[in-house]
Chains A and B, each alone.
Chain A
Amino acid sequence: MIYIGAEVIVSPLGDNAEDNWQALAENRSGIALVPAVGFNKEDIHLAKIAGLNGRLRFQQLVIKALIGVKACIDDSILTSDRTIVLISSTKGALDDNLHDQFGETCAAVMQQFNLAHLPLVISNACISGVLTLNVAGNMVEAGQYEHVIVIGCDVASDFVLYGFQSLFAVSDKPCAPFDAARNGITLGEGCGAALVSASESVFKNTPLQLLTGTSANDANHISGPSRTGEGLVRSVSRTMQKHGIGTKEIDFICAHGTGTVFNDEMEAIAFDRLSLPDKPLNSLKGYFGHTLGAAGLIETAVCMQMMRNGMLIKSLGYRNEGTSRPLNIILENEPKSLRTILKTASGFGGGNASLMIRDL
């Protein structure tokens, strides 16, 4: 069995999973209107972490998250040569060093925590986080490592904001995933982390079970979602088949739900094709914004908190049905025992990835 636990979330809503959970239970969002940050000095909604400024923002967040994980596990495994750290990110420390966006952070983390191996960086656009958790599970399953710490992190930058503005993809209000009036993404920054391990005893709190999934490319367009959801359908169906899990056993879907017209429509088509449209579903982008390479980690960590607390969290920003295939979007927080959940992600480059978490 592959265990996952020791989840950490660093976001505008708090520095640990518990504070973030408290905010989610109260449906508080980390998104706020930031004056004059747009390319033409527009006010833009962003989910920015207060006080995170200047150089080495990426490195600071990664280190903070790893300190958080360390406090939740038998910390002697950190320095073991049977342990590796994986970092999931799109743009890393781009603002610090354009030509080497990850090297300085990896070296600093290795030195500060006395790691046996240099952290490995995986950069697959918005599926990076889910993909990296799957890589971690696969490494443990294959016996290549016993423990894999996965950290997903991206920080806000002019670069990324101007880019999404140039694509006319930034929402003029806080993003509203799956809503009829959605009109784009809200960018966020943050860091999520968790330990994936072959050993149950290294976790201070009871871990959950990671059911690793697969990824699939849409083979359709580098920056536009598939019209048929083909890649997402293939990824999810293979992930479920791999573990012999049928649609009946899925209790909840944490979708990608960016808030763009085409992405959310693609996901609705895919979940319909997968015979999963009646499953309670949310997008967490209304709380954290789109944190890119961190999203898969932050959102999986929230799923784990939802399972631990037995609570469905409302899909913030959603009001009216806005996809051609209806979905069962969570309108209000609701106590519910969650045995098996599905997490999905889709992104630029046509990538789709999925995984499942199950309670022990």
Chain B
Amino acid sequence: MKVITAYCNLRADECLVNGEVVSRRDAGSDDSWFKQIYKQQELAYPKFYKMDVLSQAGYLASELIKRATPGISETYADDEIALVFANASSSAETDRRFIQSYEGGGSPSPSLFVYTLPNIVLGEIAILNKWYGENMFAVLPKFVPGFYLDYGGILFASGSRALLGGWLEVTAGGTDVLLFMVEEQESGMEFNEANLLHLSQRVAAY
């Protein structure tokens, strides 16, 4: 059966892997929350600093999921892991920053413009991992498990053997990120509506 083998939540003040808090936000730090996670988790990918918030969120969560599923890149061929991500506000936060770059006297920033598409985060993850598989980014009013279940089913039936699903809502108003890896296994947390809903709402119990 299809099983969720690892998942990562990024919230306003906590980063959780498989439900366990692995990083907490230090309100006194000068670093952004995502930079704090990057440092606390001792990640090393300097390109992280060039990324917009959506790509940073996808990078962090996908790296932490890989850490929790050792050998995932070796288990599958380079085109067998599909990426299916969604959110509600597209790349609005970076769109706003790009508009700011040229309104009020400045010039349009090319380094911001290249991030004004929501699917760029998929490209960043594909580049880092050399994954050549299927990619899709949808814009939905809210997190809907059926979207991942329906399209995941189609991808599994057409050659993909693992699915990295994601909900990445990162705006000025808040951070709500869930990434999850789905694989074929004999037992575990089934890839179904109830479990996805549960994971999307999971907050630390303490």
Contact = CB atoms under 8 A, between A and B. Distances in A.
**Do the two shown chains form a genuine complex with each other?**
yes
Given A99-B89, A123-B137, A234-B79, A216 B110 contact: no
B132 interface: yes
Contacts, number: 152
A355 B153 CA distance: 20
A222 to B, nearest CB: 5
Interface in B20-45: none
A289 interface: no
B138 interface: yes
B127 A219 contact: yes
A197 B130 CA distance: 35
Interface stretch (B1-9, B90-98, B196-204): B90-98
B118 interface: yes
A230 B132 CA distance: 9
Contacts of A138: 154, 158
Contact of B114 (A92, A102, A141, A222): A222
B113 interface: yes
Interface in B59-87: 78-79, 83
A166 B107 contact: yes
Nearest to A348: B117
- Interface centre among B102, B119, B154, by most chain A C-beta atoms within 10 angstroms, is B119
B98 to A, nearest CB: 7
Interface string A99-127: 11111001000000000001011111100
A80 interface: no
Interface stretch (A28-36, A157-165, A295-303): A157-165
B145 interface: no
A230 B153 CA distance: 26
B96 A98 contact: yes
Interface of A: 39, 90-92, 94, 98-103, 106, 118, 120-125, 131, 135, 138-139, 141-142, 144, 159, 162-167, 214-223, 230-231, 234, 238, 242, 348-351
Interface of B: 78-79, 83, 88-90, 92, 95-96, 98-99, 102, 107-110, 113-120, 122-124, 126-127, 129-141, 147, 150-151, 153-154, 157-159, 171
Given A135-B136, A349-B122, A350-B123, 8 more contacts: A91-B95, A101-B92, A103-B141, A125-B120, A142-B157, A215-B135, A217-B122, A349-B123
Q: Nearest 10 A-B pairs (CB), nearest first?
A: A349-B123, A163-B113, A217-B126, A166-B108, A162-B108, A166-B110, A121-B139, A350-B123, A223-B114, A349-B119
